[in-house]
Amino acid sequence: MARDINASLNFRALELQGSGMLQLFEVQVQASPALYEYWTDYNASITYFQPLTAVSQTYTPFPIKAGDLETDDGTKVPAMQINIGAVDQQIVSYIESNDALRRNRVRRMIVPYDEITNASACIIDTMYVDGAFIDHENEVATFDLTSKGAVANITVPIETIRRDQCGAVFKNASTCLYAGAETSCRRTKDACASKDNVINFKGFPGIGTKRIFFS
């Protein structure tokens, strides 16, 4: 997970002494119309900004705690848990009436206390709820968070997909299917067409040229 670190945030993080870091949460509790709660694990209300904006927002004290963030290392998707203690009927209602908040967005901001007037001096982790359960005995609700792609059940091909290059092995009997006299191929759609084999072109022009991001 790439992060651009604001200079003020970096300075505060390297201070030998400081006022500490705040954790602020924007939790989407309803998808349509979109409804958000703004909470902090601090013991008093904090006035900061809504994530990625200059809009002032008050974050109210709440028994919320974030677990460790597991980043994508190539073998697993990003994941994190948040726990909400002393579960009240409001939280239970959010869970029961909104499919355990599944697919709803949660943004956690880490902000130096001494930089709460600086909208850029924060780290933002954006995750999506994959499921939730309530431990009624201990009065704790646990939410499993992951990436948007994982929540949306988006699968990724196990082979390289290119928009302008054929992925088939030339003259392969099950993919390329070309059986003519030519001994090489440039693997472009035009080259495939020149061999009257464009129907078996294994490129994907429709995927476009831009990168895709989930926000």
What is the per-residue pLDDT across 79-101, written as a single tens digit (0 to 9) for each? Answer: 999 999 877 788 888 888 888 89
- SS3 sequence, 29-97? EECCCCEEEEEECCCCCEEEECCCCCCEEEEEECCEEECCCECCCCCCCCEEEEEEECCCHHHHHHHHH
Phi, psi of 31 (to 5 degrees): -85, -45
Model confidence pLDDT, tens digit, residues 46-92: 999 999 999 999 999 999 999 998 876 666 778 999 999 877 788 88
What backbone phi and psi angles, to 5 degrees, belong to 89? -65, -25
**Number of neighbours of residue 1 by Cβ within 10 angstroms:** 10
Instruction: Give pLDDT, residue 1.
Output: 44
Report the side by side order of strands in the sheet with 35-40.
Answer: 46-49, 56-61, 35-40, 21-30, 105-112, 123-135, 140-146, 79-85, 64-66
> CA triplet 15, 16, 19: central angle to 5 degrees?
70
**Model pLDDT, residue 94:** 85
pLDDT attached to residue 49: 97
pLDDT digits (tens, 9 = 90+) for 102-138: 999 999 999 999 899 999 999 999 999 999 988 888 8
Gap between the Cα atoms of 215 and 46, Å rounded = 25
Q: So what's the pLDDT on residue 72?
A: 64
- What pLDDT score does 5 carry? 67
Cis peptide before 78 (omega within 30 of 0): no
Q: Which of 8-22, 61-75, 147-161 has the highest mean pLDDT?
A: 61-75
Please give the pLDDT value at position 2. Answer: 44
DSSP H or E segment with residue 27: strand 21-30
Statement: residue 32 has pLDDT above 90: no
> What's the mean pLDDT in 7-30?
81
- Residue-wise pLDDT for 168-203, tens only, equals 889 998 889 999 999 999 999 999 999 999 999 988
